[in-house]
Amino acid sequence: NAMIPIITVIGLNFGLLLAGAILTETVFSWPGIGRYVVNAVRMRDYPAVQGCVLFFAFFFVIVNLITDILYVYIDPRIHYK
pLDDT tens digits for range 41-65: 999 999 999 999 999 999 999 999 9
Say which DSSP state 69 is in: H
- Cα separation, 1 vs 78, whole angstroms: 12
pLDDT at 22: 87
8-42 per-position pLDDT tens digit: 898 889 888 888 888 899 899 899 998 999 999 99
Distance CA 74, CA 55 (A): 28
What per-residue confidence (pLDDT) applies to 58? Answer: 95
Q: What is the pLDDT of residue 51?
A: 96
| pLDDT score recorded for residue 3 | 85
The pLDDT value recorded for residue 57 is 93
One-letter amino acid at 54 equals: L
Q: Are 60 and 14 in contact (CB under 8 A)?
A: yes
Q: Give the C-alpha separation, 49 to 32, whole Å.
A: 14
